[in-house]
Structure 1
C-alpha cells in the first residue's frame, strides 16, 4: 500500500524526475535518507517503472503525429502475436493499445511527414496479412500535452 507521502513523492517525480533526495526531502518534509528508501521501495514494487526525458517531436523533425486504428481480419493468439511483433519493430509507433469496439488496435504514430505516414500505413500495416482495415486521424494540434497520472 502507498500512503499520502508516497503519493506526493510520485507526483513530484512525475513533474521532475531529476529531483535529488535533498530536493525531495525539503518538499516532503522528510530526511533525504527516508526519501531515498521510499523511492527505492516504489521502484522495487514497480510503481516507478523508469525515468525518461520528454522530447519535442517537432524539433526532432517528426512533424506528423497521428492515431491509427487497425481492424484485423482474423482474431486469435497467433495473429495477435504476429501483429504485436510487427508493431514492436516500427520506431514510428510509440504507443499501442488493444481496444473494444470496431477497431482492434489503436496506434500512436510520429512521422517526419505525410509521405512517411503513408508508407507506414500502406507498406507496413496494410501489407500485414491479418490486417483488414486501417483508419488514421492526423493530429492538427495537441493543446494538452501528455500529463502526469492523477494521483
Structure 2
C-alpha cells in the first residue's frame, strides 16, 4: 500500500494518540472529517493500522522483570522453525519474538512478575520448545527509551485549506 503525505500524518497522529476524535484528527492533518474518516477506515481495512491498544507501564500490571532472550536452534529446517514459532506464539509471557541474523536465531522479549516466574518459563517451557539448542538471557534494568509509536512525527499541517 502506497501512503501519501496525508496518510502518513494520519498514521503518525494515531500512533501518538490512538483515541483522537476524528474531528480533531481531521483538523491536525488538514482534511475535513468525512474524508479523514474514509482514509482511517481504508487504512484499517487494508491492514496498515493493525489494531489499537492502551500502553500501560508493565510495573502497573505487576510485571517487575523483563528479559531479552537470545535463542539458537538445533537446525533451521522449515519443520523446526515452524514448530518453535508456534510454541513461542502460544506463550503469554512472550510479548515479542524476532527472527535475527548473526549468532542467534531469535530474540525473545519476555515479561514476568519476578525472577521465579521467569525461571519457570525458561526452564520448563523455553528450553523444552521444539528445536531449541540454547538460550542466553539478559535482564532489562531500565528503559532508556521505549516509544512504541515509532512513526516519524509529522508536524501539524501548516494552516492549509481543508481537502473535501
The interval holding the TM-score normalised by the smaller chain is over 0.9
Distance 1:80 1:29 in 2: 46
Higher relative CO (CA 8 A, sep ≥ 6), structure 1 or 2?
Answer: 2
Q: Structure 2 CA distance, aligned partners of 1:87 and 1:116?
A: 16
Counterpart secondary structure, 1:95: strand
Question: In the TM superposition, what whole-angstrom CA distance separates every residue of 1:75-134 from its partner, at most 9, and x where no partner exists?
Answer: 211111111121111100000011111111100000000111111111111123521110
Q: Which residue number corresponds to residue 63 of structure 1?
A: 64
Q: Which runs of 4+ in 1 moved over 3 A?
A: none
Deviation at 1:4, TM superposition (A): 1.1
SS in 2 for 1:126: helix
Root mean square deviation, CA, Å: 1.2
Relative distance call for 1:34 and 1:112 in structure 2 (3 A) is: same
TM-score by length of 1: 0.94
2:16 maps to 15
Give the Cα separation in 2 of the matches to 1:126 and 1:69.
12
Q: Show the counterpart of 1:82.
A: 83
In structure 1, what is the Cα distance between the partners aligned to 2:81 and 2:64? 30
Higher mean alpha-carbon deviation, 25-34 vs 60-69, is at 25-34
The aligned length equals: 151
Structure 2 distance, partners of 1:3, 1:143, is 32
- Identify unmatched segments of 5+ residues in structure 1: none
> Are the equivalent residues in 1 in contact too, given 2:15–2:151 (CA < 8 A)?
no
Q: Offset of 1:29 from its aligned partner?
A: 2.5
